[in-house]
Amino acid sequence: MQSLVQKIESQLVSLPIPVSLRLPDGHRIDTPGAKVRLGFSSWTGLAKLAARQIGSVGEDYVEGRVEIEGSMRDLMAAAAALMPDNPVESDTGWWTRLLRNAKSRGSHTLRRDAEQIQFHYDVSDDFYALWLDPRRVYSCAYYRDEAMTLAQAQEAKLDHICRKLRLKRGERYLDIGSGWGGLLLWAAEHYGVDATGITLSKNQHAHVEKLIAQRGLENRVRVRLMDYRELAAEQPFDKISSVGMFEHVGSANMGTYFQDVHKLLAPGGLTLQHGITSGQLDYRQLGAGMGDFIEKYIFPGGELLHVTTVLRETAHAGLEMVDTENLRPHYARTLWAWSDALEAQLDKAREVLETTAGAERGARILRAYRLYLAGCAMSFEQGWIALHQMLSARPDGKISSHAMRGAQSLYPFSRDYMYAPR
């Protein structure tokens, strides 16, 4: 044990944030001015810290085997310093890629996807409402102006997507994975589209149906509880969006997903795919136990692909990429805003979760989300994961039918329209 303690002490000296430890035998390693304090109930947990298995230490915290005192921002500053320079596990061999593909296929059946989405998004609407913006937009905001609040940045993101899609009054618009309806309702109310949303979350479906009725939009807005693979449109949609959804599709199903998008989209129409992507080409998951933590407690079945892999699948499906934008630091700021909001209401969050999930499970969920939000913010800041908006068109083959000869779609091949005053 002495060598383990010595190794831990040497690591603490190099951290940018002073950290103190309480050892399993009651002894302490005190650091002057400590901003973070960790208490371990077992030597096994301490060994995980010494091995820099940050995700495994996080699991021990969720399960009550480690105590943490201090702000999440300080904790993540210390955690980042304990990581290797790029803690990303890669798949480079054919055998590991084959196994990963088999796992992906098994994890993304219609039943499994529904279960996995409900595991995360149906935790508690009241819990999410505590730290999301008033529209409950659960995806990367767009801080077009540095002074924007989270709520303003989320509205800027909704409008940014609608602008990119060139939404027009009366167009048929589909939002795949429509969440709590933020984008669906923004598009309907600000751009006059006939809007359809689909989701696998029962809570979100009920919430959006209520909003549609409250706002008197039943004649041109609807939301369906269904999988994208089950959607059969009588006529194609003019525009299609998907925000924070393709991460749940799975690498094995990505080709099928974009083929379905192609079939649902009218020739000449536009689709915008907004999602988390990996920061490395041969990405498997975040290492140091972080990927396993997210799989177990937050997003079972979630898979991240590099943006080039996603774009290859869109091309295979017959879609032409016309604009791609990386919003990675925007998501870091968004996640810190969520984390700070949750940290400011921990007692209320605990009360809400205990009411819906019971005292023991509610406490675990809260501990998991505290680490998840702050840990993801750190990961986006470090560049280990990214966020891309990819705008694609379904070419209609008509060389001279649009504003610019050869465009073959509604895209004007200029970004001016995305940023001009409305």
Cα-based distances in Å from 104 to 129, 311, 418: 31, 19, 36
Q: Is 89 helix (H, G, I), strand (E, B) or coil?
A: strand
**Sequence-ordered alpha helix ranges (H) in 165-306:** 182-191, 202-214, 254-264, 290-297
Q: How far apart are CA 285 and CA 288, in angstroms?
A: 10
Write a three-state SS string for 372-389: HHHHHHHHHHHCCEEEEE
Q: How far apart are CA 279 and CA 277, in angstroms?
A: 7
Candidates 319, 307, 333; CA nearest to 389 is 307
Q: What's the pLDDT tens digit per position in 222-233?
A: 999 998 888 987
Burial 59-70 (b: 16+ CB within 10 A, else e): bbbbeebbebeb
What six digits make up the tokens of 344? 């400011």
Which has more confidence, 111 or 281?
A: 281
pLDDT of residue 121: 53
Instruction: Give residues with Cβ within 8 angstroms of 145, minimum separation 6.
Output: 152, 156
111: number of CA atoms within 13 Å, CB side? Answer: 1
What six digits make up the tokens of 21? 């430890």
DSSP summary character for residue 122: T
Q: Of the segments 26-40, 59-73, 77-91, 157-171, which one has the largest average pLDDT value? A: 157-171
pLDDT of residue 262: 97
Task: Band the pLDDT of 98: cuts 50, 70, 90.
Answer: very low
Share of the chain above pLDDT 90, in %: 57
Average pLDDT over residues 181-185: 98
Q: Of the segments 53-67, 96-110, 155-169, 348-362, which one has the largest average pLDDT value? A: 155-169
The whole-model pTM stands at 0.88
> Which of 113-122, 141-150, 287-296 comes out lowest in average pLDDT?
113-122
What six digits make up the tokens of 92? 């480079």
pLDDT of residue 393: 98
Structural domains of the chain in order of their starting residue, each with its CATH number: 2-82 (3.30.1050.10), 95-419 (3.40.50.150)
Helix (H), strand (E) counts: the chain: 17, 13
Q: How far apart are CA 26 and CA 30, in angstroms?
A: 12
pLDDT of residue 7: 79
Catalytic site residues? 376
Q: What's the pLDDT tens digit per position in 31-75?
A: 889 999 999 988 888 888 887 788 888 888 888 999 999 999 999
**Concatenated DSSP letters of 134-163:** TT---S----SSTT--HHHHHHHHHHHHHH
pLDDT of residue 102: 45
